[in-house]
Amino acid sequence: MYRKKVISAIAAAATLGMLVAGCANQTGPSSTDTSGAAGGRINIPAISKVDVPAGAVLPAGDGKGKCASTTTLAYAGAETGPNAQLGINIFNGIQLAINQHNAANPGCQVQFKKFDTEGDPNKATGPVTQIVSEPDIVGVVGLPFSGESKATGNIFEQKGLVHITPSATNPGLTKNGWTTFFRALGNDAVQGPAAAKFLTDKLQAKKVYLVQDDSDYGIGLGTSTSQALGSAMVGSDKVVTGQKDFSAVISKIMNAKADTVYYAGYYAEGAPFDQQLVGKGFTGSFVGPDGVKDDQFIKQAGDASSNAYFTCPCIPGELIPSFESEYKKLANAEPGTYSIEGYDAATVLLSGIDKGKQSRADLLSWVKSYDADGLSKHYKWDSTGELATPDVYGYKVENGKIVPIGVIGK
């Protein structure tokens, strides 16, 4: 994750290998459920701490920032819609960064505007067209989802407006020749192989059934994961956005005698899918990616969610006390998936503004040459807007909560 970490609990890390590399203070197992189909649920201990680089750039800066009172950053992404919580997590992280910046810099009060896309590629072009038409907006954090990012990238490019996505992971997004698009995390070409290794090594899956949705995100992640699974994958199928009845695909899974299901998609479909799967007698593990990793999955899947694990190229922000406490004050909730990536992405833009990079062209140049630690990782982009070798974390549902279990790949 480009992060300079101090690794403690070396003995525990050696035991767990790659799973917990870069993490510290391992805790013992606290769950004794035996829901797995392949000899019982694999009980991987949770972690309780991640280390933050001593020199991490923070939104407050040195407090000497000066800027015009009209200087504005924007968020573009879902605030409503079936997967809105993933966007809200990001928006709250951005808001926290801007609040901290403005409290410390009386001479630079950055404005913040949000634009709801509902996470829908067909609806995103309107809000983004509005964003680029407002000259006071010099930088954007978003869009959260791959489909809407694909649909709007050219609009940003035409107006030279820098945008940093905290969560869109389709690998093809950086192959469009855009110079204004930057990704603040690893893409699915990173997450897919890490997920496959997690399934076969740590979860000891022998027969994986892969199901993907019809989004750009699900298609990209499903492809990269299936290629990495090889002979461990005993079948695959597709579902569609908005699907409610999963009985047909569940029949195929049961007939294949799969011990693990990997679902490449979002929680809006992932939750009822897992619920129906367990209801039909499936006793194996259900593994989803970052699009499924949200408390809404647990709320919607109910008790069935106890069989779930997740993969995510995101750091567990709740394990960074300074961030967790301030975020909770703002949102009255624990940091969610990509909250800290939203915070870090906003910090990159705010630090440029404080350095006088206050036109679209200057702030874009600032991001292109950026090279510094954030709370979640080291931020330095190649010419396409990609980070190099970011970490992928594993998570599990335990006692009705999502808890991190460490680094599972790079």
pLDDT for 338 equals 96
Is pLDDT above 70 for 12? no
Of 30-34, 282-286, 311-315, 351-355, least confident by mean pLDDT is: 30-34
pLDDT for 361 equals 98
User: How much of the chain exceeds pLDDT 70, in percent?
Assistant: 90
Whether residue 263 is contained in a domain is answered as no
Please state, in angstroms and rounded to a whole number, the distance separating the CA atoms of residues 35 and 369: 49
Is pLDDT above 60 for 27? no
The tokens for 382 are 């190649």
pLDDT 10s digits, 224-257: 999 999 999 999 999 999 999 999 999 999 999 9
**Is the omega angle on the peptide bond into residue 319 within 30 degrees of 0, that is, cis?**
no
Is residue 162 very low, low, confident or very high in pLDDT (cuts 50, 70, 90)?
very high
Is residue 130 very low, low, confident or very high in pLDDT (cuts 50, 70, 90)?
very high
Whether residue 230 is contained in a domain is answered as no
Cβ proximity of 262 and 16 under 8 Å:
no
Please state, in angstroms and rounded to a whole number, the distance separating the CA atoms of residues 395 and 309: 6
pLDDT for 57 equals 98
Whether residue 117 is contained in a domain is answered as yes
Mean pLDDT of 284-308: 97
Please state the separation of Cα 261 from the chain's center in Å: 20
Q: Which domain holds residue 114?
A: 72-187+317-379
Average pLDDT over the chain, rounded to an integer: 90
Whether residue 238 is contained in a domain is answered as no
Is residue 37 very low, low, confident or very high in pLDDT (cuts 50, 70, 90)?
very low
User: Going along 172-312, which residue ranges are E strands?
Assistant: 181-183, 208-212, 233-238, 260-264, 285-288, 308-312
For the stretch 264-283, what's the b/e string if a residue is b when 16 or more beta carbons lie within 10 angstroms of its beta carbon? bbbbbbbbbbbbbbbeeebe
Is residue 390 very low, low, confident or very high in pLDDT (cuts 50, 70, 90)?
confident
| Predicted structure pTM score | 0.86
pLDDT for 122 equals 97
Q: Extract long-range pairs of 288-291: CB within 8 Å, 24+ residues apart.
A: 288/262, 288/263, 288/264, 289/191, 289/195, 289/221, 289/263, 289/264, 290/167, 290/169, 290/191, 290/314, 290/337, 290/338, 291/83, 291/86, 291/217, 291/218, 291/264, 291/265, 291/266, 291/267
The tokens for 281 are 């007698």
Beta-bridged to residue 88, according to DSSP, are: none
Please state, in angstroms and rounded to a whole number, the distance separating the CA atoms of residues 311 and 297: 14
Whether residue 30 is contained in a domain is answered as no
Mean pLDDT of 106-114: 98
Is pLDDT above 60 for 94? yes
Whether residue 148 is contained in a domain is answered as yes
Cβ proximity of 8 and 384 under 8 Å:
no
The CATH number assigned to the domain holding 123 equals 3.40.50.2300
Please state, in angstroms and rounded to a whole number, the distance separating the CA atoms of residues 287 and 179: 34
Whether residue 107 is contained in a domain is answered as yes
Whether residue 18 is contained in a domain is answered as no
Mean pLDDT of 283-287: 97
Domain count, the chain: 1
pLDDT for 40 equals 54
